Structure 1
Amino acid sequence: MSKPDHHATLHADFRWSVPEKFNIAEMCLHRWARDTPAAVAILQDGGNEPAVPFTYASLQRDAHRLSNALGSLGVTRGDRVAIVMPQRPQTAVALMAVFQMGAIAVPLSVLFGAEALQSRLVDSGAKVAIVDEASADAIEALREACPALLKVMGAGAADSAGDISWSGSLAAARDEFEPTDTRADDPALLIYTSGTTGAAKGAVIPHRALIGNLSGFVASQNWFDGDGPFWSPADWAWTGGLWDALLPTLYFGRTIVASRARFDADLALKLMERHRVTHTFLFPTALKAMMRVAPEPRTSHPKLALRCIMSAGEAVGEGVFAYCRDKLGIVVNEMFGQTEMNYVVGNCGQFRSTSGRRVPGWPPRAGSMGRPYPGHRIAVIDDDGNECPRGTAGDIAVHARDVHGDRDPIFFLGYWNNERATHAKFAGAPFESWCRTGDRAVMDDDGYLWYQGRSDDQFKTSGYRVGPTEIEDCLARHPAVAQVAVVPKPDAERGAVVKAFVIAAVGVVPDAALVDELQQLVRSRLAPYETPKDIEFVDALPMTATGKLQRNVLRQLEIDRAAGKINA
């Protein structure tokens, strides 16, 4: 007997309610500091040491002090503040402090190398950077190249680094602050996403996007009920860590576990046991690693309290789906979204009716991305912007207006200083038509989407989206490199790894030492996940008649090699 399907009813009954005035800090911090001040907002994992709790009241006190401190440094409404820290309470405090000032937070990953950090700091024009021990040295080395960066504040073990200290600034500041009156459409975040050509693009995210994110979050977390904590290894500098974990957890006044430890499958399972984590977001790569170290997780980790798993970043696949269902006892909810409009498609194993009774949402299907979450109008479109017949591959697109004709609040405001790229994102008039995601899929007769790959040159590795141009530009600066092309190489564990095809400069004899040197170059300038795991030296690269690089030919070559159709 098939399970009930409530997808159509959920969409028909769902209506957006977006107030004119709205601020993320009010919804994620202030109201809980008033109503449940002693509730734990963030639990800092201590590994073998006791965890350290941070209440909503303490976060608000520190956020108010930091807002006053930033104001004394000249930060005002609309100014950009870079936050270059991993999962830690200070990161959340910094975000809330910036939000309530009406300024714009620029979260940057501590994994970024010098070049990636510099390009984003320069492009954003960040006035202040808040760093800790993981990023202080890298930011300090870039000061002269970032003229808009006036002050660097050091936190954590880097409290004495930079121009001013976190602890000293907060100690000297008042713990009362009058939040800025922001509109729902005002910008809150500037998050950089890798582009296929040129520099990375900065997506400007408004406060209202939090509202647009919530229907997908609660659906993917099977309504997110109970009182257990949430945890995800996703970096809070990324859309996955911010919109899929930190901000929605705080919106509901719940507890999120923070951990600065590098991901390790066994340690992750122990962390979730230790804190009795009930809800999580785990990349398929992380779940695959757990499959290896814990083939029988309920036996090896009997204290696991997991009730729901959302997974995104790459295709879950039938193997991971079966592991979660059969070994963890949880039907994983796959999700799909982008920085520009997150949490738009996915699965929901169960939903809760208005009476409080738990009922099925729509049955997840192994290998499928899922269906549109309530409030989002999704289609597969062709090159002309027309909807494709069911069963025909095309671009996944999100319409600026939902099925009722109301504006979808999930949308970004545009790309920072890049109006041309903003217009190119849409099939018609910007923010009035279909917005292309750049991912291809087939929609079946029941409305489920089946992923077909990227429609451009971007790809994902271990859950991180990678644009090849930035890596190619980095490699091309090495004197031993004449030309280079970067594509994904299929990988069973990571989905794909970075592969570089290189034409060596005249007179250069490639060897293992050169491969290592090129890998170190990318790792030092960009990020570890952007480092080519495989470098192949070739005599020529495929080009069009007009001299354009045909990455699609190289991508297909790697696909055929992985399938055993041709020799590597």
Structure 2
Amino acid sequence: MTDQYQALYHSFRWLVPPAFNIAQACCHRWADSSLDARRIALYIEDEAGNREVWTYARLAETANQLANGLVRMGVGRGDRVAVALGQRPETVVAHIAIHSVGAVVLPLSPLFGPDALEQRLRDSEARVAIVDDSSCANLLAAADRCPAVRQIIGIDVKDEHILPWRSLLARQLPHFRPANTRASDPAILLYTSGTTGAPKGALLPHAVLIGNLPGFVASQDWFPQPGDVFWSPADWAWTGGLMDALLPSLYFGTPIVGARGRFTPERAFEILERYRVTNTFLFPTALKMMMKAVPEPRAQYRLALRSIMSAGESVGEAVFNWCRDALGITPNEMFGQTEMNYLIGNSGQKWPARAGSMGRAYPGHQVAVLDELGQPVKTGEVGEIALNRHDIHGHPDPILFLGYWRNEPATQAKFSGDWCRTGDLASIDADGYFWYAGRADDVFKTSGYRVGPGEIENCLIDHPAVANAAVVPKPDAERGNVVKAYVVLTPDYAQRDPAELTELLQAHVRTRLAPYQYPKDIEYLDALPMTATGKVQRRVLRLREQGRAGLPAGLPPLTTSTPT
């Protein structure tokens, strides 16, 4: 293939209109067209197999009804409305309606407990919350301590404190004139996962959708193409599900599949087959599970896949090769954050992907690797990934968040001049490819050597005994730290002798990586601690090791697995 990267990157120009509204761009412009109103917007199914199909016309009409209801409740421009729903049509309706009013969407995962919900509801001062049967109980418990919440709207919920969704919509007209918002007006308040501290609310403008589009198009191998259908198991309450899947798909007028229920590899393949999904975003954790459960998927399923994007962790060589060999697709890795998404990645049809690399900076984004003083490092040296406020032509980059909600000190701390720091470490090679080196607080030293966990984890996962792995420092009096691996075993190896397994895995890493990188200690678990977005919580494991060493950082026991 011809490497087209330099021409694409240097010729790209942002076109951000002064007036822009996500609801108009993702729904109303399609519904207002007689040719496009009957396009399919959503395929929806629940765990029981019940299925629905929603057109853009139906989506717009229902969103208009909800928008009228919100206005009657007193919701106006800038007000925060919480949406604690999973992958269901009402979630999309809620987003479109809230944007139509000019209010700010506060996406909340149905998996949140009362404390997590209370923290976000109180901090955001959300006025209205929308729930269903899965999130109702926890949100009600949290709302009692959140005086700003004046009304709760419930879907399939019977509670005297909750206004039924159907009753509210039945009283409203199906017509609504959307607010004329500026591209720079706030649209979404997304809270960070809180893996490195208390969650902070990243306030995103309407223009952030435009900022996401170059990376989305590139990572999905020039999306959309005729017949494209999108699906991702990523929760629509998180950046990955919202900005990497739902909103870009609707912006281009293409169908997206929403599937409620627990993720399993088998169900993932069934969804891909049933809806003839062409494009998907799958976390590396999901790809690892699918690789281990169904090594040869094309022998069992008739798939229409043409592109896979993955983000959140490094895919690693084993998963990369499996996607290429077993699925016939070179996966496009992507890197971004809630505060600035779709910064770096690959696009297999336009520039070559390199196994293990994060990719190159997407067109429209000026990305660098900085040292502690905020200066770019030399080629091959490790530093912190950062995004400039302006692209290479000096134009403002619309991908950037507006700031942390009512937290100016944290916003200021995120920047070094015009550079917004990510907290993630990487190096850049001579061709502009980024190579991930871990979170700044994940990298550690052992016997004077600097160690990043990703390379070791990927090496372990390449062994058939390992379903998942996490590497952290274990405090050691002589060497400062030694490499400690937490491992989840595959079923075929779960009953093997642990001492034998440890020797096997240590030898596997020692023969492939540097001598100082092999894990001196391996502990087996039934499951690794994960965030709701599918990232391994190394911080939990790191603090556990500190606690065991007598440092003040102990945590409750994890569920261990002892092979016999």
TM-score (norm 2): 0.80
- Structure 1 residue 316 and structure 2 residue 315: aligned? yes
Q: 2:253 maps to which residue?
A: 253
Q: 2:406 maps to which residue?
A: 417
**SS of equivalent residue, structure 1 residue 158:** coil
CA separation of 1:184/1:5 partners in 2, compared to 1, >3 Å: closer, same or farther?
Answer: same
Q: 2:295 maps to which residue?
A: 295
Contact 1:195/1:458 (<8 A) preserved: no
- Structure 1 residue 135 and structure 2 residue 146: aligned? no
- Give the partner amino acid of 1:165: P
Distance 1:397 1:123 in 2: 27
CA separation of 1:420/1:338 partners in 2, compared to 1, >3 Å: closer, same or farther?
Answer: same
Q: 2:177 maps to which residue?
A: 178
**SS of equivalent residue, structure 1 residue 365:** coil
Distance 2:230 2:404 in 1: 31
Distance 1:394 1:416 in 2: 28
Q: 1:396 maps to which residue?
A: 385
**SS of equivalent residue, structure 2 residue 202:** strand
CA separation of 1:540/1:234 partners in 2, compared to 1, >3 Å: closer, same or farther?
Answer: same
CA separation of 1:56/1:387 partners in 2, compared to 1, >3 Å: closer, same or farther?
Answer: same
**Which digits, 9 at most, give the CA deviation of each residue in 1:512-560, with x for residues without a partner?**
xxxxxxx9xx99x9999879689669565458xxxxx8x9xx9xxxxxx
Taking only the aligned residue pairs, the percentage that are identical comes to 53
Contact 1:497/1:532 (<8 A) preserved: no
Distance 2:443 2:20 in 1: 34
Q: 2:66 maps to which residue?
A: 66
Give how far 1:143 is off: 2.2
Give the alignment of 1:132-531 within 5 angstroms: 132-155=132-155, 157-158=156-157, 162-195=161-194, 198-224=197-223, 225-301=225-301, 303-350=302-349, 361-428=350-417, 433-456=418-441, 492=461, 493-494=467-468, 496=470
CA separation of 1:272/1:6 partners in 2, compared to 1, >3 Å: closer, same or farther?
Answer: same
CA separation of 1:122/1:498 partners in 2, compared to 1, >3 Å: closer, same or farther?
Answer: farther
CA separation of 1:46/1:343 partners in 2, compared to 1, >3 Å: closer, same or farther?
Answer: same
Residue correspondences, number: 479
**Which digits, 9 at most, give the CA deviation of each residue in 1:173-222, with x for residues without a partner?**
11111111100000000000034665210000000000010000000000
Distance 2:104 2:48 in 1: 36
Distance 1:526 1:241 in 2: 9
**SS of equivalent residue, structure 1 residue 437:** strand
Distance 1:440 1:532 in 2: 20
Contact 1:211/1:410 (<8 A) preserved: yes
Contact 2:230/2:249 (<8 A) preserved: yes
CA separation of 1:379/1:529 partners in 2, compared to 1, >3 Å: closer, same or farther?
Answer: closer
TM-score (norm 1): 0.80
- Give the partner amino acid of 1:7: Y
Contact 1:342/1:410 (<8 A) preserved: yes
Q: 2:12 maps to which residue?
A: 14
Unmatched tracts of structure 2, length 5 or more: 445-455, 462-466, 476-525, 556-564
**Which digits, 9 at most, give the CA deviation of each residue in 1:130-156, with x for residues without a partner?**
00011001111122211111111101x
CA separation of 1:159/1:457 partners in 2, compared to 1, >3 Å: closer, same or farther?
Answer: farther
Q: 1:511 maps to which residue?
A: none
Unmatched tracts of structure 1, length 5 or more: 351-360, 460-488, 502-518, 544-548, 555-568
Distance 2:209 2:546 in 1: 46
CA separation of 1:94/1:539 partners in 2, compared to 1, >3 Å: closer, same or farther?
Answer: closer
Give how far 1:50 is off: 5.5
Distance 2:19 2:46 in 1: 38
Distance 1:526 1:343 in 2: 16
Q: 2:40 maps to which residue?
A: 40
Distance 1:385 1:106 in 2: 33
**SS of equivalent residue, structure 1 residue 64:** helix
**Which digits, 9 at most, give the CA deviation of each residue in 1:396-445, with x for residues without a partner?**
011110011111110000000100110111111xxxx1111110001000
- Give the partner amino acid of 1:336: F
CA separation of 1:50/1:526 partners in 2, compared to 1, >3 Å: closer, same or farther?
Answer: closer
**SS of equivalent residue, structure 1 residue 29:** helix
Contact 1:159/1:167 (<8 A) preserved: no
**SS of equivalent residue, structure 1 residue 98:** helix
Q: 1:357 maps to which residue?
A: none
Give how far 1:160 is off: 5.0
**Which digits, 9 at most, give the CA deviation of each residue in 1:16-41, with x for residues without a partner?**
00000000000000011122111110
CA RMSD of aligned residues (A): 2.8
Q: 1:563 maps to which residue?
A: none
Contact 1:112/1:526 (<8 A) preserved: no
